[in-house]
Amino acid sequence: MEFTPEIMREIYSRIKKQAPEHTFVSRDPFWMLITTVLSQRTKDAETDSASIRLRNRFPGVRDLAGADVDEISRLIYGVGFYNVKAREIKEIARILLEKYSGSVPENREELMSLPGVGRKTANIVLAESLGKPAIAVDTHVQRISYRLGISISKDPSKTEEILESIVPVDLWIGFNPTLVEFGKSICRPVSPRCSICSISEFCEYFKRSQKSIEKNR
Whether 212 shows a pLDDT value over 80: the answer reads no
Distance CA 94, CA 214 (A): 60
What is the largest distance, in Å, between two alpha-carbon atoms of the chain?
A: 66
Catalytic residue among 70, 120, 207, 215: 120
Each residue of 154-207: pLDDT tens digit?
999 999 999 999 999 999 999 999 999 999 999 999 999 999 999 999 999 999
1 pLDDT tier (thresholds 50, 70, 90):
confident
Domain hosting residue 15, numbered range:
5-21+136-215
Residue 120 has pLDDT above 90, yes or no: yes
Query: What is the identity of the amino acid at 33?
Result: L
Same domain, 17 and 33: no
Residues 34 and 122 in one domain: yes
The structural domain count of the chain equals 2
Q: Over the stretch 61-98, which tens digit does the pLDDT of each residue have?
A: 999 999 999 999 999 999 999 999 999 999 999 999 99
Instruction: Tell me the C-alpha to C-alpha distance, in Å, between residue 58 and each of 35, 38, 52.
Output: 13, 15, 10
Q: Are residues 119 and 167 in the same domain?
A: no
CATH of the domain at 210: 1.10.1670.10
Residue 152 has a pLDDT of 92
17 and 46 co-located in one domain: no
Residues 47 and 123 reside in one and the same domain = yes
User: Does residue 100 share a domain with residue 146?
Assistant: no
Asked if residue 145 and residue 109 are part of one domain, the reply reads: no
Q: 118 with 51, same domain?
A: yes
Of 48, 85, 90, 138, which is the active-site residue? 138
CATH number, residue 73: 1.10.340.30
Same-domain status, 78 and 110: yes
**How many whole angstroms from its chain centre is CA 18?**
18
Instruction: Go through 17-34 and write b for each residue having 16 or more CB atoms within 10 A of its CB, e for each that does not.
Output: ebbeebebbeeebbbbbb
Does the annotation mark 120 as catalytic? Answer: yes
pTM value is 0.93
Alpha-carbon span 173 to 130, nearest angstrom: 10
Q: SS3 helix, strand, coil % of the chain, rounded to 5?
A: 65, 0, 35
CA distances from 1 to 142, 163, 186, 204, 207 (A): 18, 15, 22, 9, 12
